[in-house]
Chains A and B, each alone.
Chain A
């Protein structure tokens, strides 16, 4: 499958937006080359601020710019853009309702060799815990481009989570991202796999293999985690009677928790969560995904388990 870098797409989309909208400003913290925000800086140096390795300052400066009429795009790695300046995001951006878009790359275990300090497996929980913040985890490059544009268009705080590695492209050019809506990427009647980010492509792979086991999986791409599409979750519970979630994140506070909360209050069905259950280690991304339970084989096992429970 063809892969594309979501962070490079982020940089290119910023440049595109910057050309048509003078109010877009970009603030970074000494990682602009890695996030590709430097592309914007090259094109629009006067609207680009690299504040150095000072993430707290970055968030509050972004809020100051936003309350002066700018659309602030903040960028860094997920670990540095969510947990370190969480207080600045909470008071100055979420509580204030600032028009700040926090776009973080290098999320999750696939950061790989840099090890656990750099592997952000808590950021979805941290950002979903802030009232009023929209949280998007795009599955691939085309979805990233559209999510960035939606964030620029809609007023208010956004968190967009991207990866370091290139991501399989699952959407065609004609795809239209709907904010707050899950996207059914594959139909099925036996079980629904809700996935987010890089795990969407993995879930499709699992579903294709499970056909040979006689299991028809529905696969839903949950790119928007907040606001959550409760309707598509409830429908999946009703129609397929079993749910598996898959995310490149810690098992508490992420996609699995969000979906379980909805399923429990609308239509309880057997559920399995594919996610990390501990901090990992340094290593190659593919090997880490396998060792820490985030491979297509792990999704397949979870599906078989949940289908058995459903039949019991």
Chain B
């Protein structure tokens, strides 16, 4: 098959040190944009966006066969965000890859803007309207069935939250995916151990998770969700499995990279305030002037920048 030059082809080899360094840089930019967008919007979901960052960067940089200039290319690999609230991470990644201008991030969750609070069809690169948990894996089964009917070769990836696995529909979908033997379908579970109210184990225990998926007929692969090497290995393993779908249980940390958000249920759906934003930016590597430069480029007013800066001395 002829692959256009603009398309990033999957790298079948494992990552060398140089590539890992590049990916870490992209992840740092995505984290920066997650903080900028949620702070600018004064709303949104930073916790699950920070936990999914490496998964998204790994997919969009190394795994997906895609072309940001042609989001409707029939042979593209599909990425479906089932945990539809984790849009800051998705939008930051899509902007980074060129699906739309990075300036759109400033409008996140604001009236008359492209980027809706929960992912929605019509935004370049977004494959499914989500926001009500539990629907993405079923959608992915439909996409994978269409792929088979059309005798195409694309793959379908669905990212679910671990709290999302409370939804009964996830298991309806799991059962149907193995029934239809859709081996082009890969589910990834962002196993950050926290859902909206509290820790998953406190709200509704989902373990033994791997045994559940195995019981539903899936191939189960475990990965360290913040390690590009581990993720790459898992994705390549999934591509080799025939006759059944694969789920990658990716162990992650909610709020990864920002000390006070890590493992903290409070930041599931709460944006940082000015002081928290400043500290968070510092922790991911944007200190002092560098942070102000990023705020200016993002389109913050001098007034807001001063307000953030002033929290340093408080």
A residues in contact (CB < 8 Å) with B = 25, 46-47, 49, 51-52, 54, 56-57, 59-70, 72, 87-88, 90-92, 95-97
Contacts and interface: CB of A to CB of B under 8 A. Distances in A.
Contacts of B169: 54, 56-57, 60, 88
A91 B139 contact: no
A210 to B, nearest CB: 49
17 contacts: A25-B146, A49-B180, A51-B172, A51-B176, A54-B169, A54-B175, A54-B176, A57-B176, A60-B138, A61-B142, A65-B145, A68-B142, A72-B142, A88-B138, A90-B132, A95-B129, A97-B121
Contacts of A49: 145, 180
Contacts of A68: 142-143, 146-147, 150
Contacts of B138: 56-57, 59-61, 64, 88
Contacts of A69: 74, 146, 150
A88 B147 contact: no
Contacts of B141: 57, 61, 64
Contacts of B71: none
A18 B302 CA distance: 62
A57 B130 CA distance: 14
Contacts of A66: 142
Given A64-B145, A91-B132, 6 more contacts: A25-B149, A60-B136, A61-B141, A62-B142, A65-B146, A67-B142
Q: Which 4 A-B residue pairs are closest in the complex by CB-CB distance?
A: A64-B142, A60-B138, A68-B146, A57-B172
A294 to B, nearest CB: 35
A91 B149 contact: no
Contact of A92 (B128, B144, B173): B128
B216 to A, nearest CB: 13
B174 to A, nearest CB: 9
A47 B140 CA distance: 17
A65 B180 CA distance: 14
Nearest to B78: A68
B131 interface: yes
Interface of B: 74, 120-121, 127-132, 134-136, 138-147, 149-150, 168-169, 172-173, 175-176, 180
A66 B74 CA distance: 13
Contacts of B132: 87-88, 90-91
Instruction: State the majority secondary structure of interface residues on B.
Output: helix
Nearest to B139: A64
Contacts of A87: 132
Contacts of A61: 138-139, 141-142, 145, 173, 176
A61 B156 CA distance: 13
A170 to B, nearest CB: 37
B139 A92 contact: yes
B143 A56 contact: no
A205 to B, nearest CB: 44
Contact of A65 (B129, B134, B142): B142
A92 B172 contact: no
A62 B74 CA distance: 18
B154 to A, nearest CB: 9
A64 B143 contact: yes
A49 B173 CA distance: 13
A49 B131 CA distance: 26
A92 B176 contact: no
A49 B132 CA distance: 24
Contacts of A92: 128-129, 135, 139
Contacts of A54: 169, 172, 175-176
Contact of B131 (A70, A72, A91): A91
Contact of A46 (B120, B143, B149): B149
Given A67-B128, A95-B120, A88 B135 contact: yes
A96 B140 CA distance: 15
A60 B132 CA distance: 12
B135 A91 contact: yes
Given A49-B145, A52-B176, A54-B176, A67 B135 contact: no
Nearest to A94: B129
Contacts of B150: 68-69
A53 to B, nearest CB: 9
B163 to A, nearest CB: 17
A18 to B, nearest CB: 13
B176 A96 contact: no
B130 A47 contact: no
B142 A96 contact: no
Nearest to A53: B172
Given A56-B172, A91-B132, A67 B145 contact: no
Contacts of B139: 60-61, 63-64, 67, 92
